[in-house]
Each structure stands twice: as C-alpha cells, then as structure tokens.
Amino acid sequence: MLPSIARFLFNLGLRRCPPTEVILGIATKDGPRGAAALGYFLDNWMQNFTDYTADAHANVAFVPSINRGENKLAKPTEVFSNPDWEPLGFPVLDPVLRRDTANILQIKDHPPTSQLIRLLEESPPTTETQACEWFGVLSRHISGAYNARSAEYIC
C-alpha cells in the first residue's frame, strides 16, 4: 500500500521510474553514471522497461563492449555476445557484465552471414596468420562454410 503522499504525487503525474529512452540515454555516458543507469535498467527491465527492443534502440550506443582491445559503448545491434568475433573487428559484449545481459539486451551471438561476406570482400585478412585466425572462427560458427579439419592442416 502506497503512503498517501506517494499516491498524491503519482496522481499529479510523477513517474515511478524514468522512461526507457531516458535511462538508456543516461547509459550512453561513459563512467559511473552511465554504468549505474545500465545497472538500473538491467535490474528493473522486467518490471519497468518491457517496451525495450534492440531494434527500437539500434541508434543508441549504450552497450559496454570490447572492440580491438578497447572498451567502448556500442549499439545493441552492432555488438555480439560471442567473444570469438573480436579478432574479425566486431565489438563483443564486455565479459564483466552479468550473464543474462545478452538476453535482456537482445544481443545476437554472431553477425549475420551478409555482414561476414561484406567484411571479407571489403577488408580481407592481410596476413596468412590473420587469415588462419579468421577462417578458424568462421569454421566454428558457419556450418558448411568451411571444413574445420582442413583448417588445422592449412594453418
């Protein structure tokens, strides 16, 4: 049961929590304030932020990620939960986050095939070592694209 003052304030239009856009907007800030906003979102998403979808917030860079060894905030549709994709230049979810973060934020495990093909066409591996690493990752994640056994013999 709400105290009468709280009930009065809610009747005047006081919100119980900030809207999703506001809390994610704060989460775009680097540092403790942004981390606290993301933590609040993750702790309360089921009760207060059920309107969240990754696609609806695809232009908001608030997801802590690692890209080329650097910590950065990324958009939820540009980051992937599987750390295997980092050597190919894709941002991956920061491993210090809670285990359920990828599910809550609707982070995909791996990039779509079209994005992988575009990467290989536009910026193919430049060394044999890099090629072995990239195609090793691809062989583990793209069924039928590459034979894992032959990768062991080639590299």
Band (1; pLDDT cuts 50, 70, 90): low
How many angstroms separate the CA atoms of 6 and 55, rounded?
35
The predicted structure's pLDDT at residue 64: 97
Average pLDDT of span 55-84: 95
- Pull the structure tokens for residue 50: 């059920």
| pLDDT for res 44 | 94
**Is the pTM here over 0.85, yes or no?**
no
Averaged pLDDT for residues 102-124: 93
Would you state the pLDDT for residue 141?
76
pLDDT one-digit tens code per residue, 133-155: 999 998 887 664 444 444 444 44
Average pLDDT of the residues in 65-70: 94
